[in-house]
Chains A and B, each alone.
Chain A
């Protein structure tokens, strides 16, 4: 019940295209859903996060879509650029003082 399932494992997108990464969770108590971006040899960086009071959150080219009934959330990267090539992790936790549960990551490659 503590798992967060992330798909796909890897993704190749043309420059200018839309990258979509999906995550699903089981624990209905989860109410905080962040996405992290990690470049090779670096620590993950918090990219964007959402709570269940909204169904969508947008920051620049990055959008989180959240479907509470389906227990799913996704990251959309609009106008994908080669600089977006990285590994993306979704995560979930119970709001408050609890550790994050991470998905296994998606390796995104944006090709020109």
Chain B
């Protein structure tokens, strides 16, 4: 079976500090990978998605970047965090064997607080 991991689960960072959030998927190959941000009590904002190693599509120009160094690893980064970067960051994957790439499965999320 497939599982998706995100770490850390929670993070408190000062304004101006760097950020690195990691997401890995187990039990599948060639998944599509996605990063979403969810502000408190708000909807899901797609930040980046990737259909393969080194292939990143950015949906919202902002203070963040994403990389996919390995097939099942997706990293979200920032060089200098802003207060507005606070939120719940969710990684998702799709492409379960025999199923459509439309079916997305979300990870447990990382709660980021920027002070």
Contacts and interface: CB of A to CB of B under 8 A. Distances in A.
Interface residues of A, number: 23
Interface stretch (B13-21, B63-71, B74-82, B101-109): B101-109
Contacts of B42: 104-105
Contact of B43 (A34, A45, A49, A104): A104
B32 interface: yes
Given A41-B111, A42-B108, A43-B108, 4 more contacts: A46-B105, A99-B46, A100-B46, A102-B44
Interface of A: 32, 34, 36, 41-46, 49, 89, 93, 95-100, 102-105, 107
Nearest to B90: A43
A70 B112 CA distance: 40
A45 B101 contact: no
A111 B70 CA distance: 46
A43 B102 contact: no
A7 to B, nearest CB: 13
B100 A32 contact: yes
Contacts of A44: 44, 90, 106
Of listed A100, A102, A103, residue having the most chain B CB within 10 A: A100
A57 to B, nearest CB: 14
A95 B102 contact: yes
Contact of B104 (A46, A96, A104, A107): A46
A16 B90 CA distance: 32
Contacts of A103: 43
